[in-house]
Structure formats: C-alpha cells, structure tokens
Amino acid sequence: MKYKLSIIICIFMLSSCSIDFEYGSPFPCFFCFDNSIHLNELMASALTPYSNTFVRVRKKVSGKVNYCILDTKSTSEDVPITTEKENFARYALGGNECIIIGYSTLNERPVAYDGMCRYCYESSGRYITLNWHSETSVICDKCHKIYNLLMNGISDDDTPTKLWPYHISAPSPFGIVSIGG
C-alpha cells in the first residue's frame, strides 16, 4: 500500500509541474526514484543538506533489466530497477538522457539540472553531455565551460550560462525523489 501511495504522489507531482521562466527547459524530464526501496548512499548523499555531493543520473538497459546509473566525480553505481511498478514508469532524463541532482547551498534546497551543455546547444545545436570537473562542478569537453552546481548551475566565465533546472521534490535523502519539467 505504501508503495502504491508513493507512485500516486510521484505521478501527481510530475503532472502538476508547469513551465515558467526559471524552469524553461525545452526538453522533458520525468524521473521518480524511491530511495526507501533502493537505500542508495550516492543518492542519499546528494540530497543531504550541505554534503557538497551531486549525482549524475543516466539510464541503460542490459538484457531485460533496466538500470539507473548514478555517478559522482569519484564513483559510479548501476542500480537495477527491478520492481514491476518501476519498470512500468517511462523516464525522460532531459536533453541528452542525463540529469544532475544535488543540494544547493545557495538556495538551501534540492536541485536538479539538465546534464547537457546549454551553451553548446543554444549556440550550435550540439547535444554535449557534461562531465565531472570536480565534486561540485561539471565541464563541457567541447566549449570548456565549467558550471558551478553549488551556485545554481551558472558557468564560471565571462559569458555566464545557466544549466536548465527542473522541478524537484525530495523531502528526505531516503525518500522519494520526483523530478518533472
């Protein structure tokens, strides 16, 4: 029963999102991860206030098993998504099937960003997935912009660009993470 309620809450939260100025990504993002089932330390650390940890989320399929790939600058884990209800969900992970989740010390709340270089997309239409530069920043290997995840995903250069943010609900590190936009 608890799991059914969790899925209903997740669907409600994702369907209630509207695009506004702050959350204006042109790419859909729908993601729900129940960390009360997976008990994943990487995800929990990313959602812990002031941990200075961010996690990149991607997906893959191997054989008949769906996986959620969670990685930081220093480690990576493939989390099997094996329950029937999780496998029923359709995930969209932003512009290049990659999102970044963490806790913003600037806004004191959980944040989620598209894991694609916004500058490269807007200037040339290229879909470039960002790579880790440090535990709290990502870099584009093409344009070399470095985005500071602690400071709202703004690049540290003379032409600042901000990563596309998504709506996120993550009331606790070992609870349900819902992202939509």
Strand order in the sheet with 131-134: 131-134, 137-139, 146-148, 154-155
pLDDT, position 19? 37
Domain ranges (residues) in the chain: 2-180
User: pTM of this prediction?
Assistant: 0.86
The CATH fold assigned to 2-180 is Rieske Iron-sulfur Protein (2.102.10)
pLDDT along the chain (181 residues), means of 10: 49 42 77 92 95 94 90 95 74 91 90 96 95 96 96 89 95 93 80
